[in-house]
Structure 1
Amino acid sequence: MPSSPLMLGTLGLMAGVPALTVPVHRGLADTGYLLEGSAVLLVLLAVHARFVLGILTRKGVGWWLIAIQAWLTYLPWTFVGATWIPVSALLSGALLLAAHQMRSFALALLSLVCGPVFLATPSGALSDVGWAVTAPLLGLVEFTLVSLAGQAHRLSATRSDVIHRAVVQERRRFTRDLHDLVGHRLTVLVLKAQLVQRLVHEHDEKAEQELDETLALLRALASDVRAVAHGEQRSSLENELSSARALLESVGIRCQMRVSCRDLSREVGEALTHALREGVTNVLRHATARECAIQLLEQDRLVSLSIRNDGVLQPYYPKDGGQGLINLTERIAVLGGALETTTLRGGSFLFQIRIPRSN
């Protein structure tokens, strides 16, 4: 949990409290102010802990908390004397934390005199010079512990954010690949099933052949689902070009194909494969096409895939393509490419993408 470093930092800080409170309690017992002094010390520790938690959670510097600490550090000293000097280390640490937060050199210098300021008192009232000298050092130790806890908290939050982004990205990849791979197969399977049904009714001998192809598509669909689940890339642009022509011609669409660029990078080939699937799927879903022309060309190191078909019954817009075109736009945008869809006169539709050839 992101709050764990804060808890650990606070617990680590509180673990050093006995080093200050034990000698203070011993001194209070000698002065006769044990009950009153213990109550004030408890309030001071609570205020200091509240200040430290505010620093760790980046809620800003609580100046009123520093003011209360200063008041509870120096006012009781006038009653109990040198016994109260060790608690000045808490004020020193708070000022160092505030100096770091505000990038203030003056506050840092002020933190160094929280303990030594007691040296200016009459010598008769000072029984332990050591605590006055070491208070800034103890404040520096506290500053180090709290700073490390804050850094651990930020690193933990960053790690959680990275993990969350990775999960979102993987979920996005899964849904995108599932849609692009399986959605295309399902569209083809529906058309094949309709064709088989018609051939069976007509007692056509081709029904058995179409049924075999349908079973092959089902096996391919199962393979695609496994590939998506394991994040494997199994696409082949050449195989997809051959499949596109065979599929279009099997449903009575005359297909003209022109390919003049080869040896594409894996990333470009993968994007073109998905684009070809999406383009062919749109032809089958949104048109009663009789002719379709597919061209894969290259000019000035810019690869262009275009699919042009007739039989468009009404104007077709990119938003009508649903999730498929959104997924495709994301894929090609990563490669610096662009997608264009245009409804032409005479009921024709042009689907075209351009992607720079990778070096």
Structure 2
Amino acid sequence: MAQAGRLTVTIQARDIEPMNHDPSTVSSGVAQQSGQAQPYSRKGWVQRWHLIWLIYIPFYFLSWIYRKPGLLEVMASLGGVCFFFFLYWRLWRQRGKAELWQVLAVFCIGLALSRFNVGWSVYTIYAMSFAARMPSRQMAVRTMIALELVLIALGPVLQPHGLSAWASGVIFGAVVGFASLMQGDMERKNEALAIAHEEVRALAATAERERISRDLHDLLGHTLTLVAVKAELAARLVSRDASAAEREMQAVAAAAREALSEVRTAVVGMKGASLAGELDRVRQALAAAGVEADVSALTTDGHPGQEAVLAMALREGVTNVIRHAGASRCDISLTPSASALVLTITDNGQGGRLVEGSGLKGMRARLAAIGGTLDVKSDKAGTRLVATAPLRAQGEGVS
């Protein structure tokens, strides 16, 4: 007994070690870390990219190359550009969401400087671009139209200070403004798409956690039940037949090794569960528990997706018979037809009022994912469970 116990612990520790050093787990962690770091660097780059649009400000000062500005013009121009930089900085801090007063302030800078420099329209074009970035699209369109109408209405006043500047303010302002509006629409759609993508990822992660929870419940519940039954049997045999007790403990060690393998399988998905192998395991579990088993199963090759779901249903159903039913007999039948595979588990144990736990709920969820059904009836004569998995020519799988 002591040797068998030490053997079990040694094998479990040996089998757990590869799981602790699984390279796929390490690479997954690195990918997650890099995936977390990437958005921040990209976000910073996008924010700095907005500074490139300040390249148009020097166009205002081009006329100073061939003429000498007066003191008042220099002071007004420098004051205007400083105020514009302040507004641009505020806009950058607001993540590009301009307010109405900021738009009007930039527009007024251009109008105020129109009497000094033909480059004043640079500011009105910036104002149109700012207007396109207002949070409300309706307000943005109305503001841009209003600014264009103001420029057109002030044409007779502004033309003497430079017809080309006025025309460029009207034409290029409209082009830049509505181009920025379309760009803003695209950014809003991309933002909404990114939010939807994150929601899908969150839902997928939740579904995966629920799947792993269901699989671990069924796997460990069945295996630990088998381990407990065999350990109790070995304890009863140790005083009468030491060799038989040793065999039972070896079976416990084998069950523990198999449990570790099945836990790994649950982490990556239960697509490879074998119905034939599960039938052999439930025979052994029922025999160890002293339950007479009658298993009738026809060949079901060619339907791995349905078999995987029914294998998990068989495991959970038999585990419930051993742990809760107190039955002396359990009949299991697997009947294939042209349209479905039908698994039936019947016992003569303590029936009555049925309360579904996480095991039955998980079983029902797996069957529902492939279009199947679960029917459980329990009365004084026992419990009858019928799991139906429809056959599909293509797209077989396990959720």
TM category, shorter: 0.7 to 0.9
Secondary structure, in 3 states, of the residue corresponding to 2:335? Answer: strand
Report what 1:89 is aligned to.
125
* Identical amino acids, percent of aligned pairs: 21
- Answer yes or no: is the 8 Å Cα contact 1:192–1:210 preserved in 2: yes
What one-letter code is carried by the residue in structure 2 that aligns with 1:336?
G
What one-letter code is carried by the residue in structure 1 that aligns with 2:221?
G
1:157-178 deviations in Å (ceiling 9; x for gaps) = 5555555555444444444333
Indicate the RMSD between aligned Cα atoms, in angstroms: 3.9
Task: Kindly indicate whether residue 51 of structure 2 is the aligned counterpart of residue 14 of structure 1.
Answer: yes
What one-letter code is carried by the residue in structure 2 that aligns with 1:19?
Y
Secondary structure, in 3 states, of the residue corresponding to 2:368? Answer: helix
**CA positional deviation for 1:267:** 1.2
- Answer yes or no: is the 8 Å Cα contact 2:103–2:130 preserved in 1: yes
**CA positional deviation for 1:288:** 1.2
Measure the CA separation in 2 of the matches of 1:232 and 1:260: 22
**CA positional deviation for 1:90:** 1.0
Report what 2:366 is aligned to.
331
2:383 to 336, 344, 349: 349
What one-letter code is carried by the residue in structure 1 that aligns with 2:385?
F
Report what 1:23 is aligned to.
60
35-44 or 107-116, larger mean C-alpha shift: 107-116
2:330 to 292, 298, 303: 292
Q: Residues 338 and 43 from structure 1, CA distance in 2 versus in 1: closer, same or farther, beyond 3 angstroms?
A: farther
Measure the CA separation in 1 of the matches of 2:183 and 2:308: 51
Measure the CA separation in 1 of the matches of 2:252 and 2:275: 21
1:88-123 deviations in Å (ceiling 9; x for gaps) = 111222344569933987777667678777754464
Report what 2:254 is aligned to.
216
Q: Residues 183 and 196 from structure 1, CA distance in 2 versus in 1: closer, same or farther, beyond 3 angstroms?
A: same
- Answer yes or no: is the 8 Å Cα contact 2:351–2:379 preserved in 1: no
Structure 2: unaligned runs, 5 residues or longer: 1-37, 394-399
1:308-353 deviations in Å (ceiling 9; x for gaps) = 21222763311xx3x322322221111112223222124x122222
What one-letter code is carried by the residue in structure 2 that aligns with 1:351?
L
Measure the CA separation in 1 of the matches of 2:75 and 2:375: 82
Task: Kindly indicate whether residue 274 of structure 2 is the aligned counterpart of residue 274 of structure 1.
Answer: no
Structure 1: unaligned runs, 5 residues or longer: none
2:160 to 110, 116, 124: 124
- Answer yes or no: is the 8 Å Cα contact 1:88–1:135 preserved in 2: yes
Measure the CA separation in 2 of the matches of 1:43 and 1:326: 65
What one-letter code is carried by the residue in structure 1 that aligns with 2:55?
P
35-44 or 332-341, larger mean C-alpha shift: 35-44
Task: Kindly indicate whether residue 225 of structure 2 is the aligned counterpart of residue 187 of structure 1.
Answer: yes
Q: Residues 56 and 12 from structure 1, CA distance in 2 versus in 1: closer, same or farther, beyond 3 angstroms?
A: same
Q: Residues 105 and 317 from structure 1, CA distance in 2 versus in 1: closer, same or farther, beyond 3 angstroms?
A: same
- Answer yes or no: is the 8 Å Cα contact 1:179–1:324 preserved in 2: yes
**Structure 1 residues 102-113: aligned runs within 5 Å:** 102=138
150-159 or 120-129, larger mean C-alpha shift: 150-159
**Structure 1 residues 107-256: aligned runs within 5 Å:** 120-121=156-157, 123-126=159-162, 129=165, 131-132=168-169, 133-139=171-177, 157=195, 160-161=198-199, 163-203=201-241, 206-231=244-269, 233-256=271-294
What one-letter code is carried by the residue in structure 1 that aligns with 2:369?
V
What one-letter code is carried by the residue in structure 2 that aligns with 1:258?
S
Q: Residues 4 and 140 from structure 1, CA distance in 2 versus in 1: closer, same or farther, beyond 3 angstroms?
A: farther
Pairs aligned (count): 351
Q: Residues 104 and 146 from structure 1, CA distance in 2 versus in 1: closer, same or farther, beyond 3 angstroms?
A: closer
Task: Kindly indicate whether residue 66 of structure 2 is the aligned counterpart of residue 32 of structure 1.
Answer: no
Q: Residues 104 and 14 from structure 1, CA distance in 2 versus in 1: closer, same or farther, beyond 3 angstroms?
A: closer
